[in-house]
Amino acid sequence: MIAASFLMVSFYLAWSAFKYNSAMKSWYFTAVVVAVLALGTAVLWTKSNNINIQSEDIRHPLTDSLREGAERQKLKSAHDANLPGVDAADVQLSSLWKYKPALLIFTLTECPCSMQAQPFFNSMANAYGEKINFLAVTKGSKVDCSNYRVNLTVSFPMARDEHGEVAKAYDVPNSAYSALIGTDGKITKLWPGYSKKLLTEINETLAKTAGVEPIKLDLRGAPDEDATGCSLQE
């Protein structure tokens, strides 16, 4: 609403300036209108985007059945696949945990939950990336994945699981899941969502796995209650 009002006022000011200054050249007026359009649109998009990402409505409660399903994956052999990279070479999953542990983050490009969780995983990747390989296993088109990478400033590699086949193999029904895989090729832990508590647990587990002290993770904006992401199976 604020952004829309700003846009309307900006147009009015530009029109008034032209109306009462007959000496103003048409090219200058056009430049003013284009600038106002660009600024107003940017404000409107940013405002609506922030509302979508921060809204409580985007969060899906983490159920007991999802917790139990994730727990059953512990110590199972990690599924291997060759996935097309996003803005990079293809990724052979097993190569990620051949020499050091790996964290797979299951992501959906159109999911506000993935967008909200992304900065926390960026911070952990920046802290532990030398000791642990990070990969966003992402469902979405090539263009959508590239846009997600840029817009969310993803700080680690992404690969496309366009039809959700890898997610199914890991019994991951929703986005915002993350799987830690050891060098033995076994699933050490599968987290079925995110929250202040779960992100703290992930952070501490990764630090212990990397053999370092855990970073102080800024959890502002994370859900207080355990939440999972949007469906990957639709």
> Is the predicted pLDDT of residue 7 greater than 70, yes or no?
no
Q: Which of 36, 54, 72 is the last residue of a domain?
A: 54
Q: Could you tell me the CATH number of the domain that includes residue 171?
A: 3.40.30.10
Whole-angstrom CA distances from 126 to 36, 57, 75, 227 are 37, 29, 26, 24
d(C-alpha 84, C-alpha 79), whole Å: 16
The torsion of the CA quartet 108, 109, 113, 119, rounded to 10 degrees, works out to: 110
- Has residue 163 been placed in a domain? yes
CA 79, 81, 84, 89 dihedral sign is positive
* pLDDT tens-digit map of 174-231: 999 999 999 999 999 999 999 999 999 999 999 999 999 999 999 999 999 999 999 9
Same domain, 40 and 79: no
d(C-alpha 205, C-alpha 103), whole Å: 11
Q: What is the pLDDT of residue 56?
A: 53
DSSP 131: T
Give the tokens for residue 150. 């840029």
Same domain, 50 and 78: no
Backbone angles phi, psi at 189, to 5 degrees: -160, 140
| Residue 233 banded pLDDT, cuts 50, 70, 90 | confident
Same domain, 29 and 124: no
Nearest residue to 152 (alpha-carbon basis) of 109, 111, 107, 115: 115
- Has residue 233 been placed in a domain? no
Whole-angstrom CA distances from 7 to 27, 57, 67 are 21, 27, 46
Task: Please name the amino acid found at residue 230.
Answer: C
Same domain, 133 and 196: yes
* pLDDT tens-digit map of 67-105: 999 999 999 999 999 999 998 899 999 999 999 999 999
Q: What is the pLDDT of residue 14?
A: 44
- Has residue 76 been placed in a domain? yes
Same domain, 64 and 149: yes
| Residue 114 banded pLDDT, cuts 50, 70, 90 | very high
- Has residue 112 been placed in a domain? yes
- Structural domains counted in the chain: 2
> Is the predicted pLDDT of residue 159 greater than 60, yes or no?
yes
Same domain, 50 and 69: no
- Has residue 134 been placed in a domain? yes
* pLDDT tens-digit map of 24-57: 444 444 444 334 344 343 333 333 333 344 445 5
Q: What is the pLDDT of residue 189?
A: 98
Same domain, 129 and 209: yes
- Has residue 154 been placed in a domain? yes
Domain limits at 30? Answer: 2-54
Same domain, 154 and 88: yes
d(C-alpha 217, C-alpha 199), whole Å: 8
Same domain, 115 and 48: no
The torsion of the CA quartet 121, 127, 130, 131, rounded to 10 degrees, works out to: -80
Same domain, 45 and 161: no
- Has residue 234 been placed in a domain? no
Calculate mean pLDDT across residues 134-143.
96
Strands 82-83 and 60-61: unpaired
Rounded to two decimals, the pTM is: 0.77
Same domain, 175 and 118: yes
Same domain, 159 and 195: yes
Q: Which of 38, 54, 70 is the last residue of a domain?
A: 54
- Has residue 126 been placed in a domain? yes
d(C-alpha 144, C-alpha 136), whole Å: 14
What is the residue-averaged pLDDT of the chain? 83
